[in-house]
Every structure is written in C-alpha cells, then in structure tokens.
C-alpha cells in the first residue's frame, strides 16, 4: 500500500491509498469484499442498459454517490487492518510511504494532516453507521412490494458498510502513525503535476480558499502516477470542493450585502433623528 496526500484546495486535501499487491488482496478478500465486488459488477451491467428501472436506479444512485463526501471515499480506499496485515506491518515487512507535494505541504505538516483526515470525521461515521443500522427494519414494508427490489434497505446497507470501511480505514492510518510505520515521502513528481505557481499551505492558511486542482489536470495525475482508479476520486473531490467554495462565497456575499444595507439604513435613521 502507498498513501497519497493530494491537496484539492488551499484548505482541503484528499487522502488516497493505492493498493500495490492487488492479486494478493483479491485472493484473501473476505465475504464482505466479495459481496461488494458482486454488487459492483451488477451495477456495471445496469449502467449498460438503455432504459428501464435498472437504468433509472443507476442514474439516481450515481447522483447520490457523487454527493458522499470525498473524505469518506478516501478513507474507504485504505484497507481494514486485519490481524495478518497488522503483524506484517509491525514486523517491518511493509513500510508505508506517505507521498505528498513538498512545495505545497511542508514536511512538518504531512503527518499531522494525515492524522487529522483519519480522525476528524470518526464520530460522524460512527453516528451515521448506527442510524443506518437502526433504520433498516423500517424498510421491511417496501420489501413486500412485488417486482421492485427493496432499494431503501440496500441503500442503508451500503451506507452502513461505507461508514464502517471509513472508520476502519481511519483506524489503520492512526495505527500506522502510532507505530511509526508511515514514512513521509516528498515527491517532486507530484510537485510538478501541481505546477510551479501552486502556493504552500503555510503561505495560504490565513487567506481566501483557492482551488489547487481542476478537472483538466485529473488525467495527467492518473497517467503520471499510474493509478487509473484515482480519476473518479479526484473528479468527485474537485466537484465537491468547488461547490463548497461557491456556496461559501455566495453566503458571504449575501451577508456582506445585508450588513451594508443595515449600515445604510442606520445612517439614514441617524440623519432623520438629527
């Protein structure tokens, strides 16, 4: 496994784990992973359909999946820490590289950013995992309907699994940091992908949030790093962060306009009182 820290904006970073031993991982996959693989294949089959309820489910489903926070997807890319993997990593058989662009992420900040991404949403995932499990029985009446499968139930199962994987991925990163198995590895290659004008997170921490990546750069990242699966993760993260920045700018503009109007009204009232 290799872990990447890829800044999306001057305030938000995607953590992504690249699995290096794919053949071994597939061979030792548990029942849950095999079930997820089966579901993924079915989803692909449904995407190939031109019409019908399967196609509509896929369209709505993809829209919903795109809105799942990119931080959750990032932690899900980290494999759960099973006993065998823990023993191998602890014995020093597998040191994990933490790859990042040094010009953007200072060396002294890399580990703390990884730790924050592994821990900051943990309580949220636990809460939502619990609610997903508790809500499952409420979908039983839907399952009694003929022909159409119990989609709300399957969605809740997926969300419960997704939160569980995010929790386990975060725990794995925390464990690597605690046992000093996560090795900071600045990358000139990743630096070049961002370009020479990209600001350091230290320099921009107090200013306005700015995008560091655009969708035009995604393919270059995937080709250079030789990680095709990274494309969808970057595209999703870029889309979410761009929307978040636009929403904040819109809110700030509305607040400023309201404040200005209030000040103008106050000034007019003061003149009348005089």
pLDDT in tens, 62-101: 677 888 999 999 999 999 887 666 776 666 667 899 999 9
Q: Does the residue 152 lie in any domain?
A: yes
Does 193 or 251 have the greater pLDDT score? 193
In the chain the first and final C-alpha atoms are separated, in Å, by 73
Which of 231, 163, 267, 255 lies closest to 16, judged by CA? Answer: 231
Q: Is 106 left (phi over 0), alpha (psi -120 to 50) or beta?
A: beta
In degrees, rounded to 5, the angle at the alpha carbon of residue 38 between the alpha carbons of residues 36 and 41 is: 110
Rg (alpha carbons) of the chain, rounded to whole number: 23
Q: Are 132 and 164 in contact (CB under 8 A)?
A: no
The residues, any chain, with a CB within 8 Å of residue 126's CB and separated by 6 or more, are: 163, 167
Q: Does the residue 273 lie in any domain?
A: no
Q: Does the residue 248 lie in any domain?
A: yes
- The 10 Å Cβ neighbour count of residue 225 is 19
Partners of 9 in the β-ladder: 211
Q: Does the residue 79 lie in any domain?
A: yes
Report phi then psi at 130, rounded to 5: -60, -45
What residue numbers bound the domain in which 48 lies?
2-264
Q: What is d(CA 20, CA 261) in angstroms, rounded to the nearest whole number?
A: 58
Please report the pLDDT score of residue 26 as a whole number.
47
Q: What is d(CA 6, CA 77) in angstroms, rounded to the nearest whole number?
A: 14
Q: How confident is residue 35, by pLDDT bands cut at 50, 70 and 90?
A: low
Q: Does the residue 269 lie in any domain?
A: no
Q: Does the residue 216 lie in any domain?
A: yes
**Does residue 183 have a pLDDT over 90?**
yes
In terms of average pLDDT, the best of 39-48, 133-142, 175-184, 262-271 is 175-184
- pLDDT above 90 covers a percentage of the chain that reads 47
**Does residue 115 have a pLDDT over 90?**
yes
Q: What is d(CA 107, CA 95) in angstroms, rounded to the nearest whole number?
A: 18
Please report the pLDDT score of residue 121 as a whole number.
95
- The 10 Å Cβ neighbour count of residue 107 is 10
Q: Are 14 and 234 in contact (CB under 8 A)?
A: yes
Report phi then psi at 121, rounded to 5: -110, 10
Across 134-208, the runs of DSSP E, i.e. the strands, are 182-186
The number of folded domains in the chain is 1
Q: How confident is residue 200, by pLDDT bands cut at 50, 70 and 90?
A: confident
Q: What is d(CA 56, CA 26) in angstroms, rounded to the nearest whole number?
A: 31
């Amino acid at each position: 496994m290799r872990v990447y820290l890829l800044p999306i904006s001057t305030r938000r970073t995607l953590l992504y784990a690249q699995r290096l031993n794919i053949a071994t991982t597939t061979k030792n996959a548990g029942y849950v992973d095999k079930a997820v693989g089966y579901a993924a294949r079915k989803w692909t089959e449904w995407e190939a359909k031109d019409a019908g309820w399967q196609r509509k489910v896929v369209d709505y489903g993809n829209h919903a999946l795109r809105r799942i926070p990119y931080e959750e997807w990032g932690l899900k890319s980290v494999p759960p820490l099973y006993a065998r993997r823990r023993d191998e990593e602890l014995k020093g058989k597998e040191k994990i590289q933490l790859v990042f662009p040094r010009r953007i992420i200072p060396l002294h900040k890399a580990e703390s950013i990884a730790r924050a991404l592994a821990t900051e949403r943990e309580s949220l995932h636990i809460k939502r995992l619990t609610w997903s499990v508790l809500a499952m029985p409420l979908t039983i009446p839907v399952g009694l309907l003929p022909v159409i499968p119990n989609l709300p139930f399957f969605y809740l199962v997926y969300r419960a699994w997704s939160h569980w994987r995010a929790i386990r991925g975060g725990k794995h990163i925390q464990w690597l940091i605690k046992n000093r198995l996560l090795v900071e590895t600045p990358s000139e290659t990743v630096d070049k992908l961002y370009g020479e004008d990209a600001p350091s997170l230290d320099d921009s921490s107090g200013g306005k949030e700015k995008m560091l990546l655009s969708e035009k750069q995604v393919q270059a990242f995937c080709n250079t790093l030789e990680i095709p699966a990274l494309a969808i993760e970057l595209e999703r993260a870029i889309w979410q962060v761009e929307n978040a920045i636009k929403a904040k700018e819109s809110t700030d503009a509305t607040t400023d306009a309201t404040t200005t109007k209030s000040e103008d009204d106050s000034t007019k009232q003061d003149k009348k009182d005089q």
